[in-house]
């Protein structure tokens, strides 16, 4: 793999620490890497604009070879007892513990999030491995009483098949693990298309688990990877893939949903978020400060759960704005590998343009700049992707406020009653994450009730970001409705079968139907 010399000493160090032999292939079936001959895909770091490395994208022929291997592997993998599959996932978790530091550094450098967030993302892999190990002994079905004498009814869950995983750049490794680890203990095999903006993170993960696959004689094809944007449509149109998990924009999600539904496949869609925090007159503003600032500027606003809107009670509005302005003035913008910096770069210059355009639209539609934005020059890191987190006073009805902009832009607005605040929170097309800061039990319960937040995630006295793997992750409306990670999200990766056993000597029909012959 080619590593650019500019500022490459530290980068080369953590890449070497990953102890991988190859980072330049574009397709893999586990231990075997295909010599792909597709178009060259370069990975540039938004940190300093340097070329980290290049891969050759998979071709359609490569894809077909990978899928053939995966479908054959499924026939064997599904018959391995679930607890033994869980043991293999446990060993993968140990590998990620071993490589947490260098993989976290690669995530930070290739994607641009802070090192702490990069390490946190690898910790999510470790945590979901632990969760999946326990789950491998808890794939429970139900037993039901039959209305017919000497009959027993129950349901069981069977492995689904090949699961397609299409992940986004903002969480280049964690979202894959949320899907793959659960799918594997359920008996499925996986084909992963990592984001073309962060391909090396995906390839690194494939290398990290290779030792576990080899040591346990895991069938070739249980863990597959293909790179390149063309792979997405191949996965979405492939009738051999019963489930596609897609993370990305609402715009692309609509296309994925249509293609997969057209062949009667299933989807898990994790799409846009336009997340709000309600700041009550009964809130502890010191807690609001931490939740709102991290939610708005963490990952440079490039989380689907990033805080986009702050809905503040009129009685504490001015005080809250003053606190936020002071906090924003102390933010340090720069190299995300430096732990002293709070905000790293956006993923690329296209994202910078989206950020700048959103600010201009907000101004045109009547917004008032509370904290100015703009491109931030960072000495020694001239990638051109650093921007200033900004705060804009706006109305919820503004067209730009109704949209998700993947950047550190926080819109602030006032409310008078809690019912008005909840209506504003719900008054956007997206429905992923939501939060209220209050010490009023009535407000808490109302926010969490059927008359409250319409999002898949609703928090009290914590921010909109930072979901734990124990709970099912996902949202409603234009967020897609999918669920990943914890709780009973595992059911999406299996097929349900209802079984009825007649252990008597007669054959009574259900509903008392008589059919004499």
347: which 2 tokens? 């993923």
Q: Could you tell me if 348 and 111 are in contact, meaning their C-beta atoms sit under 8 angstroms apart?
A: no
- Active-site residue, 304 included: yes
What is the separation of C-alpha 271 from the centre of its chain, rounded to a whole number of angstroms?
9
Catalytic entry in 205, 304, 385, 390: 304
CA-to-CA dists, residue 306 to 19, 107, 434, angstroms: 34, 18, 10
Task: Mention every residue, 6+ apart, whose C-beta is less than 8 A from residue 507.
Answer: none
Pick left, alpha or beta for residue 325 (phi over 0 → left; psi -120 to 50 → alpha; otherwise beta). alpha
Task: Confirm if 356 and 320 have CB atoms less than 8 A apart.
Answer: no
By C-alpha distance, which of 344, 346, 289, 338 is closest to 312? Answer: 289
Tell how far CA 378 is from the center of its chain.
Answer: 29
Provide the token pair at 56.
């050759």
Contact 469, 459 (CB under 8 A): no
Active-site residue identified among 270, 404, 443, 478: 270
Residues 6+ apart with CB under 8 A from 309: 274, 275, 276, 277, 396, 401, 410, 411, 412, 413, 424, 425, 428
For residue 270, indicate whether it is catalytic: yes
415, two tokens: 């409310």
Strands (E), 321-477: 368-371, 390-393, 409-415, 430-431, 433-437, 457-460, 472-473, 476-477
Opening angle at CA 47, ends 46 and 52, nearest 5:
70
Query: Of all helices (H) and strands (E), which one includes residue 178?
Result: helix 174-185
Q: Which residues pair with 369 in a beta bridge?
A: 392
DSSP classification of residue 46:
T
For residue 29, report the phi and psi dihedrals to the nearest 5 degrees.
-115, 20
CA end-to-end span of the chain? 75
Write out the catalytic residue numbers. Answer: 270, 304
């Amino acid at each position: 793999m080619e590593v650019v010399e500019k500022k490459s000493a530290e980068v080369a160090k953590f890449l070497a620490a990953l102890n991988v032999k190859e980072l330049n292939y574009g397709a893999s079936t586990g231990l075997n890497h295909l010599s792909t001959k597709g178009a060259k895909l370069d990975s540039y770091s938004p940190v300093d604009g340097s070329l980290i490395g290049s891969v050759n994208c998979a071709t359609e022929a490569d894809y077909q070879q990978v899928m053939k291997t995966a479908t054959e592997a499924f026939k064997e993998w599904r018959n391995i007892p679930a607890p033994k599959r869980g043991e293999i996932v446990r060993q993968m978790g140990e590998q990620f513990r071993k490589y947490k530091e260098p993989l976290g550094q690669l995530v930070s450098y290739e994607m641009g999030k802070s090192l702490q967030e990069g390490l946190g993302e690898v910790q999510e892999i470790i945590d979901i491995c632990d969760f999946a190990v326990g789950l491998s002994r808890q794939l429970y079905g139900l037993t039901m009483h039959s209305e017919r004498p000497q009959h027993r009814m129950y349901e069981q869950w069977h492995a689904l098949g090949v699961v397609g995983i299409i992940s986004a750049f903002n969480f280049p490794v964690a979202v894959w693990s949320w899907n793959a680890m659960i799918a594997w203990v359920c008996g499925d095999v996986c084909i992963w298309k990592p984001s073309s903006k962060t391909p090396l993170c995906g390839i690194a993960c494939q290398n990290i688990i290779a030792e576990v696959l080899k040591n346990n004689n895991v069938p070739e094809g249980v863990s597959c990877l293909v790179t390149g944007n063309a792979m997405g449509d191949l996965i979405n149109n492939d009738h051999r893939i019963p489930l596609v998990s897609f993370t990305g924009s609402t715009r692309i999600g609509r296309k994925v949903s249509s293609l997969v539904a057209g062949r009667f496949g299933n989807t898990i869609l994790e799409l846009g978020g336009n997340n709000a925090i309600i700041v009550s007159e009964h809130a502890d503003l010191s807690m609001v400060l931490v939740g709102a600032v991290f939610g708005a500027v963490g990952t440079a606003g490039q989380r689907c759960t990033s805080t986009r809107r702050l809905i503040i009670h009129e009685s504490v509005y001015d005080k809250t704005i003053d606190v936020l302005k002071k906090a924003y003035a102390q933010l340090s913008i720069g190299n995300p590998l430096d732990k002293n910096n709070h905000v790293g770069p956006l993923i690329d210059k296209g994202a910078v343009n989206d950020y700048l355009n959103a600010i201009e639209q907000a101004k045109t539609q009547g917004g008032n700049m509370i904290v100015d934005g703009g491109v931030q020059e960072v000495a020694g890191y001239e990638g051109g992707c650093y921007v200033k987190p900004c705060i804009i006073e706006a109305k919820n009805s503004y067209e730009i406020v109704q949209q998700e902009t993947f950047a550190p832009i926080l819109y602030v607005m006032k409310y008078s009653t809690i019912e008005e605040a909840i209506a504003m929170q719900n008054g956007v097309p997206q429905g992923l994450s939501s939060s209220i800061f209050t010490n009023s039990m009535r407000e808490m319960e109302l926010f969490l009730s059927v008359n409250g937040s319409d999002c898949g995630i609703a928090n009290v006295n914590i921010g909109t970001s930072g979901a734990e793997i124990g709970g099912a992750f996902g949202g409603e409306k234009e967020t897609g409705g999918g669920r990943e990670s914890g709780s009973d999200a595992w059911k999406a990766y299996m097929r349900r079968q209802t079984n009825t056993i007649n252990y008597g000597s007669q054959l009574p029909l259900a509903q008392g139907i008589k059919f004499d012959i």
